Amino acid sequence: MTTQRKAGPHRVLILGAGYAGMAAAIQLAARTKGRDDVQVTLVNPQERFTERLRLHIAATGQQVAEMNIPELLEGTGARFVRGWVTAMEANAKIVRIDDSRVLHYDTLVYGLGSVADTVTVPGVEEHAYTLNSPQDAEALAERLARLSGGTSGGTVVVGGSGLTGVESAAEIAERYPHLNVVLLGRQEPGAAMSPRPRAYLQAALTRLGVHTRSGAEVVKVLPGSVELAGGESVAADVVLWTSGTRVSPLAAAAGLTVDERGRIVTDATLRSVSHPEVYAVGDAAAILQGYGVMHGTCQGGMPTGVHAAVAILRALGGKRPKPFRFGYYHTPVSLGRHDAVVQFTHPDDSPRRVHLTGRMAARYKETVTASPWPTYGRMKKMPASGAFWPRGGRFTRVRGVR
Ligand SMILES: Cc1cc2nc3c(=O)[nH]c(=O)nc-3n(C[C@H](O)[C@H](O)[C@H](O)COP(=O)(O)OP(=O)(O)OC[C@H]3O[C@@H](n4cnc5c(N)ncnc54)[C@H](O)[C@@H]3O)c2cc1C
């Protein structure tokens, strides 16, 4: 049954205040400030902004800054709703919060991000720690503090040798030098980098005392150990799981077209191909560029949020939204607090020859990590300041899309 809606403002509901959702919210809020024909609402489980880029730092007990989302939205007219999205009903255009509240929308921005895959390998969900939320990082910090306070040392196994695994292993080894840190994964650490930065990264891990084993496939996590393909068992007092990615099942359950990983498939303007009133941003979206489908990063996520906001306003103003284009430009990887490696990349994320290492790279990485919150602050005052990112030139052109 369809219900007639009374006239009122156009309701834009943004789900998830991560890097992408925040960018969409602040961009829309700033551009519609003072207008009574658009109502912007942002939903997130906590008022504090989660700097995912620093969760490996928080997980070793180090303080990270507090950033308050409702405070940032103050004065814009945008509403903040604290809660967990438990269901989406795309045909009725409603979202359920904490199974009790119902929020209606005319346009939805879906920015629920992604988390490490704790489902595929048995035992991960029950026995491994993750960096999937600030609460998970805090739980790991407490466990590591207890382990390092013991007299007999201990072994921390980091499952997954991608960049989150590398950053986490380096951070734990630097913070707790008497713990044995083992980094296990299929690929060698820094596999996507060119030879010199890769060698630098691997030497830094060795200097920090991290034992790396590539070509290792974890098939099971047990209390006190992990089991590798082939049957070998590796003792572990703590397992941190960083491997693979998983997205919320909400979009698929609501009947939106999703890819094989559950991400919402978008058109060139970031609208869902099945439900054009839904825009998908950040890690939760499958966005096609000339080089392929974008992979989840903060550098690409923020532009998707800004673009969705601008596209929504263009559509509301009767204009045609423009296609989204983004080209990668760097891969900065921290190696503890004083060292890092930055691989500069072509727009398709393939490595260039240029890279930075050491303290200069650590400063670069810190600047990049710290930049989103001030960027939102700038966008609140000058929305157009959020529109600068590399479009990627010929790398991002999709045939037939203008
Ligand atoms: C340790 C670590 C280091 C990283 N380093 C880098 C880096 O150096 N550079 C880089 O580009 N990328 C990095 N990444 C990846 C980067 O963090 C992600 O690509 C980025 O966070 C994606 O942004 P997003 O807005 O899509 O999702 P997120 O930032 O994950 O935000 C999603 C938001 O949605 C909320 N949410 C989820 N489900 C629900 C629900 N059901 N109801 C309500 N709210 C919900 C979450 O709480 C969160 O606030 C790193 C990731 C990790 C874990």
Alpha-carbon distance 352 to 344, whole Å? 6
Ligand 1 atom nearest the C-alpha of 112 is: 34
User: Rounded to a whole number, what is the distance in angstroms from the first to the last CA of the chain?
Assistant: 38
Q: What are the chain's domains?
A: 10-113+248-326+372-383 (3.50.50.60), 118-243+328-370 (3.50.50.100)
Residue 73 Cα to ligand 1 midpoint, Å, equals: 20
User: Hunting for tokens 């992990």 — which residue is that?
Assistant: 226
Which of these, 76, 59, 79, lies nearest to 17 by C-alpha position? Answer: 79
Asked if residue 17 has its Cβ within 6 Å of ligand 1, the reply is yes
Non-local (6+) Cβ contacts of 11 within 8 A are 39, 41, 104, 105, 106, 107
Asked if residue 269 has its Cβ within 6 Å of ligand 1, the reply is no
Asked if residue 111 has its Cβ within 6 Å of ligand 1, the reply is yes
Residue of 112, 115, 168 best suited for mutating to test ligand 1, as the one with most atoms within 8 Å of CB: 112
Alpha-carbon distance 150 to 391, whole Å? 51
Asked if residue 21 has its Cβ within 6 Å of ligand 1, the reply is yes
The type of residue at 201 is L
pLDDT in tens, the chain (402 residues): 344 565 799 999 999 999 999 999 999 999 999 899 999 999 999 999 999 999 999 999 999 999 999 999 999 989 999 999 999 999 999 999 998 999 999 999 999 999 999 999 999 999 999 999 999 999 999 999 999 886 678 999 999 999 999 999 999 999 999 999 999 999 999 999 999 999 999 999 999 999 999 999 999 999 999 999 999 999 999 999 999 999 999 999 999 999 999 999 999 999 999 999 999 999 999 999 999 999 999 999 999 999 999 999 999 999 999 999 999 999 999 999 999 999 999 999 999 999 999 999 999 999 999 999 999 999 999 999 988 888 877 777 766 655
User: Hunting for tokens 């990264």 — which residue is that?
Assistant: 201
Bridging pattern class, strands 10-15 and 38-44 = parallel
C-beta atoms surrounding 3 within 10 Å? 7
Contact 310, 147 (CB under 8 A): no
3-state SS assignment for residue 40: strand
Alpha-carbon distance 129 to 395, whole Å? 38
